[in-house]
Amino acid sequence: MARLTQYDYLFVWGLFFSFLDAFNIGANDVANSFATSVSSRSLTLRQAIGIATVMEFLGAVLVGARTAATIRNNIIDINIFEKDPAMLLLAMVCAITGSACWLTFATRNHMPVSTTHSIIGALCGVGVAGGGRHAVHWGWDGLGQIFASWGIAPCIAGGFASIVYLFTKYAVLKRKDSVRWGLYTSPLYFFVVSAILTMAIAWKGSPSLGLNKLSTGTTLAAIFGTAAVVTLLSILFWLPFVYCRVIRGDYTIRWYHFFLGPLLWKRQPPPDAGEHTADRAVPDYYAGHRPADHPAPGTPSEKVDPELEASHDSFEPPPPKPAPLSYNARAAEKYPIEGPWIEPKNLWIILRYRAIPFIWNLFTHGSSVDVVQMQNEGADAKRMADIHAHAAQYDNKTEHLYSFLQVLTASTASFAHGSNDVANAIGPFATIYLTWNSGTFAGSKAPVPVWILVFGGACIVLGLATYGYNMMRVLGNRLTLHSPSRGFSMELGASITVVLASQLAIPISTTQCITGATVAVGLCNGDTKALNWKMLAWIFLSWVLTVPMAGIISGCLFGIIINAPRFGAQN
């Protein structure tokens, strides 16, 4: 059959809402995952966006096709549309619309929902509307396995995360010379993380690369060989770099000195290196989270001059400093528009100093905000301070070691997310495109074009870059105190779970994995007061609402359209 040109509007509709769905996956789900890295100060928001740009793309394009097919084929019985491909096209359009609408609402209202659950609920809605309850695969081969993963995945991720953190806690953090023990054990972590990342690509392979045809021995050799090479490079280059920066306190070390490798062992630090390690060579990862950073009401937070304090009756506080002018206000003062705006010089001023900065700020605002500062603000700041006070704080130098490792785990988590959750946006859209383009029923064996995977990955990154901060500011440290060692354990535990699920073609929720890992690491403090149970209840409520709400939106939309009266209908 030929292309269904009469339904071009449905394809355009599906394309738009697939973009919106993937955009909100980035703004909600990816932001939820990267909130751990940003909240622990291991990554800045812009660094997180940069990593996501690369790793989400690789995960989506190399491994994403397998889970995309699962989302499309195993949730509902699409054979009910076999005799009417146009109806399948409409069903998938309604499903992606329902999922996108719910995700938009949830993201705007700070609800960290599961995007996997959203598209599953939407597909169930159109399945019931189109073929009744029997059109949905409720058994273990369909929703049953997915429902089970909702409870099992957080527990498995929490188990992995707690094992990693407890080993780190007692083998390194609580040791007398924790920094040296951290250096001794770091190569082991590099090996494990590198093996997991390689496993995601090589184990069971990627159809687009033909790696699924490799033998078991070759696959294992690729996994452990790559991990061994990365570990060797960490010993040759990373260890001397970190030793000079942390142990010696050489604050003159720059990122490009990393490539000097073994030569750094002979580098002489400046005479005052040891005096400035804390504030110049190593960041303070617990800044803003100590009890002293949150004085009780009525406690002076700044030192007052004794003479002024003696005459406090007549003392008046200085007037508040005026807020800094925005870029547009400064430009208006420096480059005023004189005369009619249509004059060439005024048009140039409007374009160069008004329009272009406005557009630039519009696209870069989401990557320039201070997420950690946002998390410390708000009406419940005092309660957050009490929660953080129940979590142990360790040596900043030791924590600094795990900030490097967390970059690897963040990369692994991002790759795993791209491989698993890209299906949420492009699974239904792949069916839309294949049905519209060929005019035939898109069966279970229809391939997913690479450009659709690229499209999904690009929209996910755009959502994180422009609106991800909105979700990050209500997560991270608002769940429990984050630090590089904790964040590293959370991300590694969640990544292992997501990678395994992706390779087994089970579309689990990355949101639930990182949440389970966060709760488990928080409980490893040995104090239940170190967790924000109120926030966890809000997250759980968001999960519960997702499936029915997305299903109601898509099911009602599909049911109304297919049963609507038509012009020219005969009685």
Per-residue pLDDT, 342: 79
The total of other beta-carbon atoms located within 10 Å of residue 327's CB is 14
Per-residue pLDDT, 311: 40
**R_g (Cα) of the chain, nearest Å:** 27
* C-alpha–C-alpha distance, residues 428 and 343, integer Å: 51
How would you classify residue 475: left for phi > 0, otherwise alpha for psi between -120 and 50, otherwise beta? beta
Higher pLDDT, 461 or 332: 461
Per-residue pLDDT, 300: 47
| HSE (side-chain half, CA atoms, 13 Å) at 62 | 24
* C-alpha–C-alpha distance, residues 312 and 96, integer Å: 65
Per-residue pLDDT, 388: 83
Which tens digits make up the pLDDT trace of 223-274?
A: 899 999 999 999 999 999 988 888 888 888 888 888 898 999 988 888 877 6
pTM of the model: 0.79
**Alpha helix (H) ranges present in 469-532?**
469-472, 484-503, 510-523
* C-alpha–C-alpha distance, residues 550 and 548, integer Å: 6
Beta bridge partners of 76: 136
3-state SS, residue 50: helix
Identify which of 4-18, 124-138, 247-261 has the greatest average pLDDT.
Answer: 4-18
Least confident span in 58-67, 172-181, 448-457, 549-558: 58-67
* C-alpha–C-alpha distance, residues 456 and 422, integer Å: 6
* C-alpha–C-alpha distance, residues 418 and 455, integer Å: 12
Q: Which of 470, 474, 433 is nearest to 450 (CA)?
A: 433
Per-residue pLDDT, 420: 65
**Predicted confidence (pLDDT) at residue 489 exceeds the cutoff of 80:** yes
Q: What is the residue-averaged pLDDT of the chain?
A: 79
Higher pLDDT, 436 or 299: 436
Query: What is the average per-residue pLDDT within 497-510?
Result: 73
* C-alpha–C-alpha distance, residues 91 and 425, integer Å: 14
Higher pLDDT, 29 or 124: 124
Dihedral, CA of residue 550, residue 495, residue 420 and residue 540, to nearest 10 = -10
Query: What is the average per-residue pLDDT within 180-207?
Result: 79
Query: What is the average per-residue pLDDT within 99-103?
Result: 94
Per-residue pLDDT, 67: 58
- 509 within 8 A of 515, measured Cβ to Cβ: no
- Dihedral sign (CA 532, 538, 544, 550): negative
Per-residue pLDDT, 328: 57
Query: What is the average per-residue pLDDT within 69-88?
Result: 72
**Predicted confidence (pLDDT) at residue 208 exceeds the cutoff of 60:** no
Higher pLDDT, 469 or 203: 469
Buried-exposed string 86-115: b where 16+ CB fall within 10 A, e elsewhere:
ebbbbbbbbbbbbbbbbbbebbeeebbbbb
Higher pLDDT, 194 or 146: 194
Per-residue pLDDT, 197: 73
Which residue in this structure is represented by tokens 């989400």? 56
Contacts of 568 (CB under 8 A, 6+ apart): none
Residue 570: band (very low, low, confident or very high) from pLDDT cuts 50, 70, 90: low
Higher pLDDT, 188 or 372: 188
Residue 323: band (very low, low, confident or very high) from pLDDT cuts 50, 70, 90: very low
- 485 within 8 A of 398, measured Cβ to Cβ: yes
Query: What is the average per-residue pLDDT within 52-66?
Result: 75
Per-residue pLDDT, 502: 66
Output the CA angle 160-529-287, nearest 5 degrees: 85
- 102 within 8 A of 29, measured Cβ to Cβ: no
DSSP track, 309-322: HHTTTS--PPPPPP
Query: What is the average per-residue pLDDT within 43-61?
Result: 83
| HSE (side-chain half, CA atoms, 13 Å) at 22 | 28
Buried-exposed string 440-476: b where 16+ CB fall within 10 A, e elsewhere:
ebbeeebebeeebbbbbbbbbbbbbbbbbbbbbbbbb
Residue type at 142 in one-letter notation: G
Query: What is the average per-residue pLDDT within 437-451?
Result: 70
Which tens digits make up the pLDDT trace of 263-310?
A: 999 888 888 776 655 456 678 888 777 766 655 554 444 444 444 344
**Predicted confidence (pLDDT) at residue 320 exceeds the cutoff of 60:** no
Identify which of 168-172, 379-383, 500-504 has the greatest average pLDDT.
Answer: 168-172
